[in-house]
Amino acid sequence: MKGNKGKKGQKKVTNNKFKGKKVSNKTNSKKDKQYQNKNGSLIISPNNLNEITSPIAIFDYKGNLTYIQCNIMDDMKFIFEKFAFAIKQSITNFCFKINDIIIDFKSKFKDFVINGNIHINISVSEINEADKTKFKNYITAETNVDEKNVNKYQIIINTSKSINLMGQIKDYYNYDNEEEIIKNCIIEINGITIPFPFNHCFLFDEIGIFKIKYIFLDNITKTTSMFHECGDLTNFDLSNFNSQKVTNMSYMFNRCYKLTNINLNNLDTQNVTNMSYMFQYCQSLTNINLSNLNTQNVTNMEWMFDYCKSLTNINLNNFNTKNVINMRAMFGACESLTKIDLSGFNTQNVIDMGCMFSDCKSLVNIDLNNFDTQKVTKMGFMFCGCKSLTNIKLNNFNTENVQDMNSMFSQCSSLTNINLSNFNTQNVTYLGGMFSFCLSLTNVDLSSFNTLNVTDMGSMFYQCQSLTKINLSSFNTQNVKRMSFMFYGCKSLTDINLSNFNTQNVAEMREMFHGCESLINLDLSNFNTQNVINMDDMFNGCKSLTNLDLSSFKQARRMINMFKGCIALKDTKNELMNNRLKEDKKLIKK
């Protein structure tokens, strides 16, 4: 910390201020000889004033001065408020001297001025066992500071060279472990102790690689968001971190964007119950060894590896998941994963599997036949965005309690066939978008589907452009309210039997058959449209449609472009609809 400039006319204080104080070079104990008589000194003379504007003396806890800066102007002025932060917290028996004058740290520090050569030294007489153990519990990390990254993901303090050290646990996130971390953590950068509060930033004088050491004075119980948004840290070594008492590790490395290496070999997780979001957005991590992680008590793993987009390999063979309840988005957006072995997963207590593999764009094959899904209620977006997936095994899936299957296989664009004959959908309410953008899907068996409680079927087969036929004879649609975009873009579908459809509660039929360009015959005579509000573009682009029975259709509030592009259609068996057809054909001619 820089001192204030000396003012003109200010009375200079001489060494007389410290008269009467004795200096002793003797140590108080013969214990721990390695720590005794460790002295260091800083000599500042008038000859080097032009070279040094802010001399810094740095020594470590074994007996060397931890941190001091002096501002040299007309006088020499020192401010000791921030000096020896770590020493004051952990070592009580030491002697600090300036020009052989003892400085008493028990009293409040005051500014003073000394002219001439300055000699600083410190000697430690004794360090007890308790003090030593505090320095054994630490985490080390490394960052590469360059001109390209210094302004990113950090709070800047009067410089362009700074880095986020502890995320934003104090200024942004108000987590309940904030006080615990600040109270028990000391940070060293290249051996310099950075005292709290420091606004979570350290100012660098130059670019280069810096080693950061997080020292914990006591056992931490929560590491929630400990390194959240430490966006420039490249590696962590937790082999010396005592995490025995930790119960919550959620968000621990969240948004460590540049993290490429992490050593978890000695991490004690036996008491941890929450690992949610733990590695989320570690987007530079290519491999991670989790073989030593004890997950026997973990109940929450949601979003754990979400957006680890460079992760190519992950070994979960030793994962004990018997108590896990939440696996939502656990592997979401792991874009580089080509395979994943979950044969050892015990999912007997899992309730939420929504988005579990969403956007795993490189995943080709997945076998989940061992999954016990009896308690699962949410499967929405479970495989959404798995665009390379060609084979999926769900033969033993028990879906009797599932309520949400919204967009479950959406954007599985390479999947040609899927067997869901074992699916029990008696409690499902959302089927919207379930197979949307399954561009290669040619066959899907839905014969076991019970849709009595379904309210949303919107976009269910959206852009299933390779689907040539589909059997929906088992569908009960009496409670469905939304069918908009249901068969949108099913351009290979030539025939579809919807004679069993009950549409008495449907309000939305917008673009229901839009783009079904191969559809020739469609009998909707059983459709009850009394509650339908929107029929915009309902048959838009059905250019091959020659036979359409809408004899039961009523006027809807919106019917814009309802028959646009139906160039082969001449009759709908409904005068009202025929008039609408004529109007749309006139628009085409114009």
Q: What residues have CB less than 8 Å from 393, skipping those under 6 apart?
A: 366, 367, 368, 369
The CA distances from residue 456 to 429, 507, 523, in Å, are: 7, 11, 22
Name the pairing type of β-strands 162-164 and 201-203: antiparallel
CA distance 34 to 45: 31
- CA gap 279, 377 in Å, rounded: 25
**Residue 48 — φ and ψ, nearest 5°?**
-110, 15
Confidence of residue 349 (pLDDT cuts 50, 70, 90): very high
Of 108-117, 193-202, 231-240, 294-303, the one with minimum mean pLDDT is 108-117
What separation in angstroms does the CA of 442 have from each of 371, 465, 572? 26, 9, 29
d(CA 543, CA 469): 18
What average pLDDT does this structure show over 302-309?
98
Phi/psi at 129 (nearest 5 deg)?
Answer: -60, -40
What's the one-letter identity of residue 570?
A: K
Residue 42 CB contacts under 8 Å (≥ 6 apart), including other chains:
55, 57, 65, 68, 118, 119, 120
pTM, entire model: 0.74
Q: Residue type for 115, please?
A: N
CA angle 479, 426, 365 (to 5 degrees): 115
Q: How many CB atoms lie within 10 A of CB 246?
A: 25
Q: 289 is written with which tokens?
A: 């060894």
Tokens standing for 475? Answer: 């569908």
Across 97-117, average pLDDT: 44
Q: How far is residue 17 from each of residues 13, 82, 113, 119, 143, measured CA to CA in Å?
A: 7, 22, 10, 17, 44
Residue 266 has a CB neighbour count (10 Å cut-off) of 13
**Beta-ladder partners of 168:** 166
Most confident of 41-55, 101-115, 127-141, 279-293: 279-293
Q: Which residue has the tokens 């949307």?
A: 436
Q: What is the pLDDT of residue 250?
A: 94
Q: Average pLDDT in the 134-158 region?
A: 54
Closest by CA to 468, choosing from 495, 489, 447, 501, is: 495
Report pLDDT digits (tens) over 350-399: 999 999 999 999 999 999 999 999 999 999 999 999 999 999 999 899 99
From the CB of residue 217, how many other CB atoms can be counted at a distance below 10 Å? 17
* Mean confidence (pLDDT) of the chain: 76
Rounded Cα distance, 541 and 402, in Å = 36
247-273 pLDDT tens trace: 999 999 999 998 999 999 889 999 999
Contact at 8 Å (CB) between 477 and 446? no
- Domain locations in the chain? 15-132
d(CA 55, CA 146): 24
Give the pLDDT band (50/70/90) at residue 184.
confident
